[in-house]
Copies of this chain bind each other. A is one copy, B any other.
Amino acid sequence: MNERGRATRDRLLAATRDVVRDVGYSRATTRAIARAADVTEGTIYRHFPDKTTMFFAAALGPHNEMLTQFADLPDLAGTNTLAENLTTALIRLAQLREDILPLELAILTDPELATGRTAARLDAVSLATGGPPERLAEYLRSEQRLGRLRADADPQLVARTLLSLLFALSLEPSAADADGGRPDPALIGSAVDLVVRGLAP
């Protein structure tokens, strides 16, 4: 694949994210995506074997960024406050996630996407689980070792709870509807506070 090909491919992936965000997964047709990427429909199939694969590929980019972002979270243990670190990390995560949330939902909702032949790809992407939960738990364990988190809390459970919370808040058709950006940072802060409160040693 030469440079022109790669550029087209990237445009298709960006178009996929844009269209899905704008009109929802079910109305994100190959026609709409091709149009948004300024190519014809046939071109899609030169770059991806089918529509589903393209969707997963479109999600992969932001997902990798999410992984990268979280990679150094454990290093922050001991610095700032617990609430500060968590809030910052989750807000960043929410922003990155915004692009691919509709796709995550589609996968979660659609039994066929969540199983069968797509299972492998799903695993590779590990959207809901995978990286972030692990890094977050690791960070919490470090804080626990430092005595900044009560000893009887289960880091894994806490991590999972925080991420679930973030996920749900991102979905809410809440106040922040206006500016298009879904999750309201202030709301995230409040929610994190609530949880962190019970984590003090």
Closest CB of chain B to A15's CB: distance in Å?
17
Q: Could you give, for residues 150-174 of chain A, a 1 whenever the CB lies within 8 Å of some chain B CB and a 0 otherwise?
A: 0001100110010111011101110
**Which of A17-25, A51-59, A91-99 interfaces with chain B?**
A17-25
What residues of B have a CB within 8 angstroms of the CB of A164 in the complex?
165, 168-169, 172, 191
Which residue in chain B gives the minimum CB-CB distance to A22? B111
Known: A194-B158, A198-B194. A105 touches B111 (CB 8 A): no
Residues B165 and A24 in contact, CB atoms below 8 Å apart: no
Rounded to whole angstroms, the CA-CA distance of A112 and B23 in the bound complex is 7
Rounded to whole angstroms, the CA-CA distance of A192 and B195 in the bound complex is 10
A173 contact from B114, B191, B199, Cβ within 8 A: B114
- Does A27 sit within 8 A of B, measured CB to CB? yes
- Does A132 sit within 8 A of B, measured CB to CB? no
Residues A108 and B105 in contact, CB atoms below 8 Å apart: yes
Residues A110 and B172 in contact, CB atoms below 8 Å apart: no
Rounded to whole angstroms, the CA-CA distance of A33 and B23 in the bound complex is 25
Closest CB of chain B to A63's CB: distance in Å?
17
Chain A residues touching B, majority SS: helix
- Does A26 sit within 8 A of B, measured CB to CB? yes
Size of the chain A interface, CB-CB below 8 angstroms: 39
- Does A128 sit within 8 A of B, measured CB to CB? yes
- Does A36 sit within 8 A of B, measured CB to CB? no
Rounded to whole angstroms, the CA-CA distance of A106 and B23 in the bound complex is 12
Known: A167-B171, A172-B128. A161 touches B24 (CB 8 A): no
Closest CB of chain B to A168's CB: distance in Å?
3
Residues A112 and B194 in contact, CB atoms below 8 Å apart: no
What residues of B have a CB within 8 angstroms of the CB of A106 in the complex?
109
What residues of B have a CB within 8 angstroms of the CB of A109 in the complex?
24-26, 102, 105-106, 109
Give the B-binding residues of A (Cβ under 8 A): 22-27, 102, 105-106, 108-112, 114, 128, 153-154, 157-158, 161, 163-165, 167-169, 171-173, 190-191, 194-200
